[in-house]
A and B are shown apart, each in its own frame.
Chain A
């Protein structure tokens, strides 16, 4: 069910609650945070696999999807973190399991570092500790000249395995990404490309699943080795050969990894199917 709330700085944020879990076993929920240029709906194929086990909340990050674009188009990590905490406060969620895809995973990691009591676990997809060690800044002039759709269409092979991807998905992905405000996206990507919090991830105390696209095309794969070496309670998974957008290309596989991880680490919170 889609709903909205207004943040403490007055911005309207859209979110979805999908609740198909048995009514007597509903908490803690999963919160899903999408990537730069994404929105909640991009998780559509992962959600049905998760919702019998957990209540699932998806938020459109500010400036994305149906959430408003900040009037000054500014982006700070502190504000993005505050948005998540305020949504949790509104829904009276003390702590949640987080699934973060790419930039959504940066926010999830930073939340686990700054508000450890609110994060029970992290499932991170294609999400290193920031985009500083990447080519993301080279996107900006291309987005400015080619437009979001043109840039993404020209570089789509960096994101999706085209030989095994439904052409309908490619078109939908491009159409949806093109709905974003290019100036805000430029500010968002610039900010993410300034981040490197590798020296902070040793403070991530919760169980953490890191799923690495084996053919990562955004950023340096060494970033994932840092996660492997520094996050105390980490489970590493590698999807061989796949480029960056694994949550789009193989959503069912991503959801299954989360379920397997949560079932093994939080058996008491994992609702059984009733068959």
Chain B
């Protein structure tokens, strides 16, 4: 396990995967997972990408093998953004390409807004402009009442289409059940309080947005502001897919990210 300590003293777990030519100087792609995710959730996407770029993944604070911040501490987007900046510092990287899934993409976008010089490009998968005004605010209470796994089992149709391989769904539920409910409440609570639509025009880097085609119908996710306002955006829609595209079709996601990164080279 490789870790670093943030400026506020938290231990963050990260991993580097690199199958690039050993004599070359590869670009770096930093991948940030979703709420309730962790490094391993991206495993299927990594190998094909890591043949072409150095892939760095981190467990967001409170997730995976990173430490959970003290309960009394307020979670903020600037702190999540600072964690990523400090990871770049730790790796002596002035800038990198970024790939974010859902809430991981929210952190990527806010990094691009706060420190544009550190973000060479953005690949956003199922990641619009936060969860403000959506019914995600109600999740927290329901998860508290029902428990993590039962809540997500009951609402699974929101994340996976009916024809999804049951092994994928079972794996997702096992992964979800690993999380701390109080921290998740804090994390989702933060995401439902944020909306940076009015800042989107300042995301100057090349941006790929991959939209789960059936996500819009849920009324939780809205990708229209991103499409209209991010100046240098390329959009791809996966027809018939619900929110969790990085879990259901990881090889397709990786291929699209790689194709996008190749156009920048």
Chain A interfacial positions (CB closer than 8 Å to B): 18-20, 22-25, 41, 44-45, 47-49, 51-52, 166, 168-169, 171-172, 273-275
Contact = CB atoms under 8 A, between A and B. Distances in A.
Q: Which of B51, B168, B255 has the most CB of A within 10 A?
A: B51
B157 to A, nearest CB: 19
A48 B50 contact: yes
Q: Which of A18, A19, A25 has the most CB of B within 10 A?
A: A18
A45 B46 CA distance: 14
A24 B43 contact: no
Contacts of B21: 44-45, 166, 168-169, 172
Contacts of B43: 19-20, 23
B47 A48 contact: yes
B167 A274 contact: no
Contacts of A19: 43
Contacts of B250: 274
B123 to A, nearest CB: 17
A18 B252 CA distance: 21
Contacts of A48: 19, 47-48, 50-51
Interface in B206-256: 248-252, 255
B204 interface: no
Contacts of A22: 44, 167-168, 171
A135 B214 CA distance: 64
A168 B46 CA distance: 24
Q: Which of B22, B48, B168 has the most CB of A within 10 A?
A: B22
Contacts of B251: 52, 273-275
B91 interface: no
22 contacts: A19-B43, A20-B44, A20-B46, A22-B44, A22-B168, A22-B171, A44-B19, A44-B22, A45-B21, A47-B19, A47-B47, A48-B47, A52-B44, A52-B48, A166-B21, A168-B23, A169-B21, A274-B44, A274-B165, A274-B250, A275-B252, A275-B255
Nearest to A50: B47
Given A24-B171, A168-B21, A172-B23, A274 B48 contact: no
Contacts of A169: 21, 23
Contacts of A23: 43, 171
Contacts of A49: 47, 51
A34 B50 CA distance: 21
Contact of B23 (A20, A45, A171): A171
Interface string B47-83: 1101100000000000000000000000000000000
B167 A24 contact: yes
Contacts of A41: 22
Given A20-B44, A48-B19, 6 more contacts: A18-B47, A19-B43, A52-B47, A168-B24, A275-B249, A275-B255
A19 B171 CA distance: 16
